[in-house]
Amino acid sequence: MKYALTALTLTMLGLSACGGDARAPAAGPAIPGSDGPLGAVPVPDDNPLTDAKIALGHQLFFDARLSVDGTRSCYSCHQNENGNGGADPIAIGAAGRQLTRHSPVIWNVGYMPRLYWDGRSSSLEAQARGAWGGGNMGVGADNLDAKAAEIGEIPGYTEQFAAVFGELGATAETVAQAIASYERTLVCDVTRFDRYAAGEIDALNEQEVRGMELFNGKAACVACHAPPLFSAQYGTEEGVYYNVGIGIEGRPAGEVDAGRQRVTEQDADWGAFKVPSLRNIAKSGPYFHDGSVADLEDAIRYMASGGFANRNRTPLLVDRELTDEEVSAIAAFLSSLDCGELEEPELPGS
């Protein structure tokens, strides 16, 4: 909320100081989220938002020409039909190469202090370069500037890169900056739940209200999936990670995805993954970092069962002994967190 307060203070100063004189035009678009429960999305000083940059990033996010073989755009694995997560349990990258984890929901990524299931990336710009250079799109970290130059030569992109980045034009960094700027606009904060929380009590039906009460009470989901983001990582610097036993059953320890431990090298983080937001969750199956659960009610049942016992399972997860009817009520409540859809832009030269 820091940004919102600053904006408010400036408005008040402006009003009292210039008494009706023409004021300078706003420097950029309104910061996404400013008026909602999530607050203004953080924007780094070295990549300010502009409408033209957001529009450019929007096109790049949808453009498969960015990938090594023209088969994958960012959107390929973060599509509307899949709740903007992935359809495949484990994502399949360019050249048909299987990755190691499930594609997470892309809404509200601007609020995540750390990105990826293990939190190994600390900025959307770095993450975009990672996905573009790595297996997702297969270009290779060393070839990004060359690929960017190729993209920058497509009529329609040339002008936009010049207008947004001037002499820099299309480089690995400017492509990543534009994509990150677009991603910062993917704010989902006006769901039925948010309307209910703002006092519109008809926005949720009886079963959904009961589900919300269970979520906050008997099932204790709120301990980790707290509003407004429905993840405890909101507002933290490093994110929040727990071992809830996913991906461990039936695997020798050496073959388990060690998750957060691969970043921190701490034994306490073995098998721990970040607490995902539950916004848009009803639309985004399959679930968990390994996409191992197809159905939302089964995912809820798992989370409420205490999780698979292992040497590092968090003590916060215990069997809540929910009935089937209670699980359904929680699922109904979670569907009140449905977000909208990404808009498909028209792409230059295609």
Which residues contribute to the site for ligand HEC (CB under 6 A)? 72, 74, 76-78, 91-93, 99, 101-104, 109, 112, 115-117, 124, 127-128, 131-132, 136-137, 179, 183, 219-221, 223-225, 242, 244, 246, 273, 275-276, 278, 281, 287-289, 299-300, 303-304, 314, 316-317, 330
- Dihedral angle sign, alpha carbons of residues 154, 160, 163, 166: negative
CB neighbours of 64 closer than 8 A, spacing ≥ 6? 70, 71, 72, 73, 76
Q: Which is nearer to ligand HEC, 4 or 120 (CB)?
A: 120
Smaller CB distance to ligand HEC: residue 4 or 122?
122
- Please state the separation of Cα 30 from the chain's center in Å: 20
In which region does residue 311 sit, left (phi positive, over 0), alpha (psi from -120 to 50) or beta (all else)? Answer: alpha
Return the number of the residue (7 or 306) whose C-beta is nearest ligand HEC. 306
Question: Residue 291 CB, nearest distance to ligand HEC (Å)?
Answer: 8
Residues 6+ apart with CB under 8 A from 291: 86, 88, 89, 90, 101, 102
40 versus 258: smaller Cβ distance to ligand HEC: 258
- Give the nearer residue to ligand HEC in terms of CB position, either 151 or 164: 151
- How wide is the angle at C-alpha 196 spanned by C-alphas 190 and 201, nearest 5°? 145
> How far apart, in whole angstroms, are the C-alpha atoms of residue 312 and residue 242?
9
The least distance separating ligand HEC from the CB of residue 267, rounded to whole angstroms, comes to 17
* 1 contacts 34 by C-beta, under 8 angstroms: no
Instruction: Say if CB 176 and CB 284 are below 8 A apart.
Output: no
Smallest gap from residue 48 Cβ to ligand HEC (A): 19
Closest distance of CB 219 from ligand HEC, Å: 4
Considering beta carbons, is residue 49 or 112 the nearer one to ligand HEC? 112
Minimum Å gap between C-beta 76 and ligand HEC is 5
Minimum Å gap between C-beta 328 and ligand HEC is 12
